Amino acid sequence: MAEVSLCPPLTRESVQAAHKRIKQYIHRTPVVTCDTINTLASTPQSKRCPSSGPNVLSEPAPHDLRLDVKATRYSAEPNVRLFFKCENQQRIGAFKARGAFHALGRLIDEQGIDEVRRKGVVTHSSGNHAQALALAARTHDVPAHIVMPTISTPSKISGTQAQGANVIFSGSTSDEREAVVVDVMKKTGATLVPPYDHPDIILGQGTQALELEQQVIDLLAGNAKLGVPSKHGLDAVIAPIGGGGMLSGICTALQGTGIKVFGAEPNFEGANDAEIGLKQNKRIEKVKTLTIADGLRTPVGEIPWSIVTDKSKLAGIYSVNEDQIKAALRLAMERAKLFIEPSAAVPLAVMLYNEEFRELVQREAGPGGWNVGIILSGGNTTVDAIAAIFAPPVKVEQRTQATVGANGEKVVENVAG
């Protein structure tokens, strides 16, 4: 990659320059709204929970897993209008195309196209950056070597291979992936294009925030009823954080605009390393988790960490559990008709279910409310994978099909219907 010391500064102006560089290669993805989800997000959880009364909104509202916490305590009632930035409709199905095209373009400027083609590029990724770099490399006729964990989603593996990349498999942790990358570099001389920990990646990922900002202004100009009155158009943006390339890019793009930026993480098996790290005032370097939000299983990189720890750029990070992610995923698909992967559902889950965050929004926005951008980071999953996430336990399914008796015996019941 281009030397960090030679990279453009991490500023809004640099993100704007990055957007000019890559816009011919990427989609300006749409921004959509959903009245039903707006209503849910603006309704206290206690009023949309089956355990506290009629579930008139037909919405599963998971709460605290502790049995001593009653649903009625979840009373925050923020007034919000949500604007979904659909990066699930980006090329290769995720925002990562932005960073890959920008980073490879900068590398070509620095080394020359012939040298980059001679050496090739290499990276490690669970899937979205893998596909993005493979696409960017194919576009410029550059060889690409992609190290992927063996547990990567099959659709992401096949998508990377479809772009003509050489896929090499590794273990699931960052250490295991990086070890294989080093081996590939020794054998091929390929240049590493990291998935998130580099200024050129960060600046590329931040371009989606520039688009979202302007798109919301344009939408409200056409129909003011889509949002609440706001001098900025957008009041806040929530984005997922794994390695931190996207979130730090969005922080950089929106600095000085008055728009608050928040991060969203899963908390299964310590996947919320950024949230924990902020509380402990140190970057957590190792993460090993099998959260369903597979794109967020990595620790925050050093450069993104230097940005997200700046309180003038990031307003906070909040996390959600697996059930909450699944509930948000279901809502996005069934109510908003948005086909997204679990990682992309995490910001919506925070808006809907993290009571601390909901209380903050209610308190800071006041009765006037906020217009909130929700980054839907990608849609690289399959119908089979989604079905598996929502599949009932085997015995429950067998009981439903009458292949297991009421007492668990494996006999078919002949029940008159």
CB-based contacts of 21, cutoff 8 Å, min separation 6: 101, 102, 105, 106
Confidence of residue 50 (pLDDT cuts 50, 70, 90): low
Half-sphere exposure in the Cβ direction for 166 (13 Å, CA): 11
| Residue 68 pLDDT | 59
Two structure tokens written together for 239: 């984005």
Give the amino acid at 193.
Answer: V
Which of 68-103 are b and which e, b meaning 16 or more Cβ less than 10 Å from the residue's Cβ? eeebeebebbbbbbbbbbbbbbbbbbbbbbbbbbbb
From CA 44, how far away is CA 56, in angstroms rounded? 13
Q: pLDDT tens for residues 205-236?
A: 999 999 999 999 999 999 999 999 998 899 99
**Helix residue ranges, H only, 272-406:** 273-280, 302-308, 322-334, 342-353, 355-365, 383-390, 394-400
Fold of 96-192: Rossmann fold (3.40.50)
E strands within 96-170?
121-124, 144-149, 166-170
Helix (H, G, I), strand (E, B) or coil at 410: coil
State the DSSP string of 233-260: S--EEEEE-SSSHHHHHHHHHHTTTT-E
| Residue 43 pLDDT | 93
Q: How far is CA 312 from the centre of its chain?
A: 22
Annotated catalytic residue 326 = no
| Residue 126 pLDDT | 75
DSSP annotation of 316: E
CATH 3.40.50.1100 range(s) for the chain read 31-59+71-91+199-382, 96-192
Q: pLDDT tens for residues 128-140?
A: 899 999 999 999 9
Annotated catalytic residue 174 = no
| Residue 219 pLDDT | 98
Checking if the pLDDT of 399 tops 80, the result is: no
The pTM of the full predicted model, rounded to 2 decimals, is: 0.89
- Choosing from 14, 46, 52, 126, the catalytic residue is 126
Q: pLDDT tens for residues 265-299?
A: 999 999 999 999 999 999 999 998 999 998 898 89
From CA 44, how far away is CA 75, in angstroms rounded? 5
Two structure tokens written together for 104: 């490879």
Query: Going by CATH, does the domain composed of 31-59+71-91+199-382 fall within 3.30.365.10?
Result: no
Confidence of residue 46 (pLDDT cuts 50, 70, 90): confident
- Choosing from 47, 85, 96, 260, the catalytic residue is 96
